[in-house]
Chains A and B, each alone.
Chain A
Amino acid sequence: MSKQNEHQYYLPWIAIKTLKIVIFSVVFSLTVTAVPSPALSSGIVILYPEVRKPYSKIYEDIIEGITEQNQNDTNSMAIDPNQPFEYYRGSLTKLAPDTIIALGQKNISLARELKPDVPIVAGGIIKSTENVAGISMIPDTGAIIDKLILLYGEVRNLHIVTNAKKRKHRLEIVGNYANDKGINLIVHDVETVQAAANEYKALLADIKQHDAIWLMKGKAISDSALLSKILETAWKKRVAVFSSNPTHVKRGALFAIYPNNKKLGASLAILATKTNTGSTPSTTLAPLTDFYTVLNSRTSRHLGISIAGNIRAEIDSVF
């Protein structure tokens, strides 16, 4: 039958198409995954840890931001934790970096050991035991308070339950900034997880509408029963809860912030250039100012927050 012929005609066509896609794919993937060329050029070398997907995408975005910002050569090396530092000496020497951007805690030590004379900029970490210039993943307090005011302008009292001694410096900054904006910071000082839980319970009993709770990282709020109680009371009493953990937003907090990795990359590249030229011989980590905001639309409506115009522009994603 003629239909048989048509059918036979199509199969080779499909086979050729398939083959073309395969060849295209292989060629493409080879070009994409090519090892950094060992050219004898100087510039920025980024050391980043080899991690699983989806975590690897975080580093890929930071690297993309650095590469886009940096005018000179940028090379990156995935550091396999199975290998000793020495394993990378050869490749690092060949790349002859002007500056190293070390992502992840371990790569700072690696860079220090293998290239003690090259300036280092650290990123992708919370804090460092070494004196190093860089950008921390801990967000800038002023920027967070600005976000709170933008979303919930009626806020009067801001509560933080934390170990005040450990966060003395940061709390001072928060207090001063909040004061300037007409917000009263109330720090509930606790030393143990149990004390934190008790303090949260006492706070929830007394808290009033137009107050806000900043859930700072700590073991107490990892307890889902306590977090659930906080969010339930916050709903009932119309209190704004926020943090730097987007999961809290999924569970009912008003908003949270999380890193904008591409922008962070660009900021690291700028810092690397400055460090290399010696204009800012900083040895501390700057707070993170490049972040996204995620909002819980259900909670925001419950609090009577209208997401329109300028506020909408400040929100990057919505649960």
Chain B
Amino acid sequence: MIPLNKLTLILASIVLVYCATSVASDEEELLSFYGDEEFVSIATGISQPLSKAPAVASVLTSKDIKQIGATDLDEILETIPGLHVAHNAVGYGSIYTFRGIYTESNPQVLMLINGVPLTNLFIGDRGQAWGGMSIESISRIEVIRGPGSAVYGADAFAGVINIVTKNSNEISGLETGARYGSLNTKDVWLNYGHSGEKLNVSASVEFHKTDGNDETIPADAQTFLDTVSGTSASLAPGEVNQQRENIDARLELGYGDFTFRSGAQIRSDGGLGIGLAQALDSNGQVSSKRYNTDLTYNNPDYSENLGIKATVSYLQTSQEVDDDLILFPPGSRGPFFTPLGAPIFPPFPNGVIGNPEIYERHSRANLTSTYCGFDNHEILLGTGYYYGEVYKTEEEKNFGIDPATGFPILPGSGLVDVSDTPLVFLPEDNRENRYIFLQDVWHLANDWELTAGVRYDHYSDFGDTVNPRLALVWSTRHNLTTKFLYGEAFRAPSFAETRVQSNPTVLGNPNLEPETLKSYEIAFNYRPTFDINIDLNLFHYKWEDIIQFVSDPGGATRTAQNVGEQDADGVEIEANWDITEQVSLLTNYSWQNAEDQDTGADAANAPEQQFYIRGFADLPNQFDITIQLNSVMDRNRSFGDPRSDIDDYTTVDMTIRKRFYGEQLELSILAKNIFDEDAREPSLNTIPVPAIPDDLPLAGRRIFGEIRYKFN
């Protein structure tokens, strides 16, 4: 006889199997009207169809983001061919290196959130206290490799990264989650979405706190200063300071053709990585407050052939000091020497301190219309206005000249406030930009389409620039598309490069021209079967008028000049293969060879080769697993750097997820760099010796546990 409890179990199993079949049959029937689940999402408005761009673009959806097991934006971007996320010494700030274009402050990349640029005026990046970005509110990330200035304007130069946040269709009711793991890293998030009859609402709040990477720096800038000034002040060997606390909050309201968005990105208690002057600083902490709001009217069917989109946006950013930034540690005599090489000052008892703060505002208005009234032409016409200002700069320091006395501030003195004096690090100033752009998509013949676009920009400070692009797209075969692309781009000189006059060694140049880029590409998209997609891109570009600080006659100062030039060729190949409905493989390989035309040497620091592969399997019992491998290879030193080339590294990550109660509850384990690879990003070459000789170590093995729950 079967025991009662076993019988119950068998009955329960039968009921469960029956129920599962019943649900599956309903879903299967629905599926047959749409073909596949992806189209169910598109047809019901849950996700957007991926737009076809006549550029080399990658789109990563929230599904990709989960497969990657990402906890921060940079982990997603690292998976894109031709893009490597390097870091600089100041706060381990991200350097998005596209196709060999590597600079410390990385203003050659345009990053947008929902189409609104995040570019700061000070050094043209996302802000030195950027602090990373949580990803739970991200719907998808669109990345264009190569120039995009003909549409996006300034800084769409090496690449464009547009982050699109989730709307009410993508969040049903209330969803929450938390993650905890290595380096005392905590994340908590809450998303809410409701699609009403007229009003659609979505909101998200994300909280992130971490002690951050704590790898050891054996020697820093102060180590060298100690040897030449007879001190022993350096904190090296010591740990990197990468702690931070982040809050991201977003609200989106949709009403008919109008969308209102507002958001805040608050970064606080941010460690300085290695330090503002490449000397370890365990005291300094920075914060950044970024508030944005925008209103968009988008009506693609304004009239029979006319579509209109209008956007106004406002972004306010700050870089603030929470705790004194110690450029050189207590006991240091600073980098101040007589021409004969003797230290000028006795040791600074509290260290050399500088606390620069900067506050910016950015207002934009943009109007774009599309017109399809002419046979075989789609016209895009747009115009816009930008006003940005550094409305406040503040600085306290315990070195340099005291503006009240005109004499040097001596070691042991307190902090002197140099705000609102000519000695502040950057004067307050503004910039205006007006622009107009026109693009025509012309269907030349049955299988040929030509996109021709041009944009004219006028800047209040550096004048005019015109940037064209051409894209010829040929549907070569039923499963092969070939694209021939030409584009030009410009990078607006930053305020640090044009307006700084108070720095004793580095001077801005108000006569700078923008950096320019001309790019030629051939791209192939081949789909040998429905389940395999292969992309191959070949590119060549010329990057000119690169802004560098050049020694002035006399040698005491360096001034920003348009002097550099870099040429590059490269290849990117990527492939996706849906092996079965449950198993998929994605891989890409990039190779580039860039040459610095001034020195004739290969361009430094950016990887010449990158390889990435990701396997995903949807296992029985609601399990899924992802394993990914990322190799960063062949990074050269800059010309004159005595060190051997930077070691290659390969990291392997793994994510395991299990879903319960349908998909209501999900538990995951995320393991990063599971083989504890010694991965390093290059440090700057400085004269007379590299300040951080052993480069910037990245975090080793990390493990996180994650829980997600949907209240519906």
* A residues lining the B interface (CB < 8 Å): 1, 3-4, 6-7, 10-11, 14, 17-18, 21-22, 24-26, 28-29, 32-33, 49-55, 57-58, 61, 64, 81-82, 104-106, 124-126, 137, 217, 224, 227-228, 231-232, 234-236, 244-248, 250-252, 256, 258-259, 261, 292, 297-298, 301-304, 306, 308-309, 312-313, 317-319
Q: Which of chain B's residues have a CB closer than 8 A to the CB of A137? A: 29, 33
* Stretch from B119-127, B320-328, B329-337, B569-577 at the A interface: B320-328
Contact A319 B249 (CB under 8 A): no
Q: Name A259's closest neighbour in chain B (CB-CB).
A: B33
Q: Which of chain A's residues have a CB closer than 8 A to the CB of B374? A: 308
In the complex the two chains form, what is the Cα distance from A244 to B481 in whole Å?
A: 26
Q: Name A126's closest neighbour in chain B (CB-CB).
A: B29
Contact A247 B447 (CB under 8 A): no
Contact B39 A105 (CB under 8 A): no
Q: Is B405 an interface residue (CB 8 A)?
A: no
A-B contact pairs, 10 of them (CB 8 A): A22-B190, A29-B712, A33-B712, A54-B44, A104-B29, A126-B32, A231-B478, A247-B36, A248-B35, A313-B304
Q: Which of chain A's residues have a CB closer than 8 A to the CB of B529? A: 224, 228
In the complex the two chains form, what is the Cα distance from A236 to B478 in whole Å?
A: 8
Question: Which one of B18, B34, B192, B197 contacts A246 once the chains associate, using CB atoms below 8 Å?
Answer: B34
Contact A14 B264 (CB under 8 A): yes
In the complex the two chains form, what is the Cα distance from A125 to B28 in whole Å?
A: 11
Q: Which of chain A's residues have a CB closer than 8 A to the CB of B530? A: 224, 227-228, 251
Contact A29 B663 (CB under 8 A): no
Question: Which one of A21, A49, A54, A312 contacts B37 once the chains associate, using CB atoms below 8 Å?
Answer: A54
Contact B249 A303 (CB under 8 A): no
In the complex the two chains form, what is the Cα distance from A259 to B446 in whole Å?
A: 30
Question: Which one of A6, A28, A53, A125 contacts B46 once the chains associate, using CB atoms below 8 Å?
Answer: A53
Q: Which of chain A's residues have a CB closer than 8 A to the CB of B478? A: 231-232, 234-236, 252
Contact A302 B34 (CB under 8 A): no
Question: Which one of A246, A297, A309 contacts B35 once the chains associate, using CB atoms below 8 Å?
Answer: A246
Contact B43 A292 (CB under 8 A): yes
Contact A106 B42 (CB under 8 A): no
With known contacts A298-B481, A306-B375, A29–B304 Cβ distance under 8 A: no
Q: Is B8 an interface residue (CB 8 A)?
A: no
Interface residues in B444-501 by Cβ distance below 8 A to A read: 446-447, 449, 475, 477-479, 481
Nearest Cβ on chain A to B293's Cβ, whole angstroms: 14
With known contacts A28-B201, A232-B479, A309-B305, A301–B443 Cβ distance under 8 A: yes
| Interface size grouping (class) on chain B | 35 or more
In the complex the two chains form, what is the Cα distance from A49 to B30 in whole Å?
A: 11
Q: Which of chain B's residues have a CB closer than 8 A to the CB of A32? A: 173, 194
Contact A106 B22 (CB under 8 A): yes
In the complex the two chains form, what is the Cα distance from A256 to B251 in whole Å?
A: 36
Q: Name A15's closest neighbour in chain B (CB-CB).
A: B247
Q: Which of chain B's residues have a CB closer than 8 A to the CB of A18? A: 205, 247, 249
Q: Which of chain A's residues have a CB closer than 8 A to the CB of B27? A: 51-52, 55
Nearest Cβ on chain B to A71's Cβ, whole angstroms: 16
Q: Which of chain A's residues have a CB closer than 8 A to the CB of B392? A: none
Instruction: Name the 8 nearest CB pairs between A and B, nearest first.
Output: A247-B35, A235-B478, A25-B192, A57-B44, A81-B22, A245-B35, A54-B41, A49-B26
In the complex the two chains form, what is the Cα distance from A52 to B287 in whole Å?
A: 42
In the complex the two chains form, what is the Cα distance from A224 to B529 in whole Å?
A: 8
In the complex the two chains form, what is the Cα distance from A251 to B533 in whole Å?
A: 12
Nearest Cβ on chain A to B32's Cβ, whole angstroms: 7
In the complex the two chains form, what is the Cα distance from A259 to B42 in whole Å?
A: 13
Q: Which of chain B's residues have a CB closer than 8 A to the CB of A309? A: 304-305, 373
Contact B268 A250 (CB under 8 A): no
Q: Which of chain A's residues have a CB closer than 8 A to the CB of B247? A: 14, 18
Contact B446 A304 (CB under 8 A): yes
Question: Which one of A3, A105, A303 contacts B357 once the chains associate, using CB atoms below 8 Å?
Answer: A3
Q: Which of chain A's residues have a CB closer than 8 A to the CB of B14? A: none
Question: Which one of A33, A261, A298, A319 contacts B44 once the chains associate, using CB atoms below 8 Å?
Answer: A261
Nearest Cβ on chain A to B154's Cβ, whole angstroms: 31
Q: Is B407 an interface residue (CB 8 A)?
A: no
With known contacts A52-B27, A106-B22, A232-B478, A25–B203 Cβ distance under 8 A: yes
In the complex the two chains form, what is the Cα distance from A218 to B444 in whole Å?
A: 38
In the complex the two chains form, what is the Cα distance from A288 to B190 in whole Å?
A: 40
Q: Name A261's closest neighbour in chain B (CB-CB).
A: B44
In the complex the two chains form, what is the Cα distance from A256 to B531 in whole Å?
A: 20
Q: Is B383 an interface residue (CB 8 A)?
A: no
Q: Name A32's closest neighbour in chain B (CB-CB).
A: B194
Q: Which of chain A's residues have a CB closer than 8 A to the CB of B15? A: 82
Contact A55 B40 (CB under 8 A): yes
Contact B372 A53 (CB under 8 A): no
Nearest Cβ on chain A to B685's Cβ, whole angstroms: 33
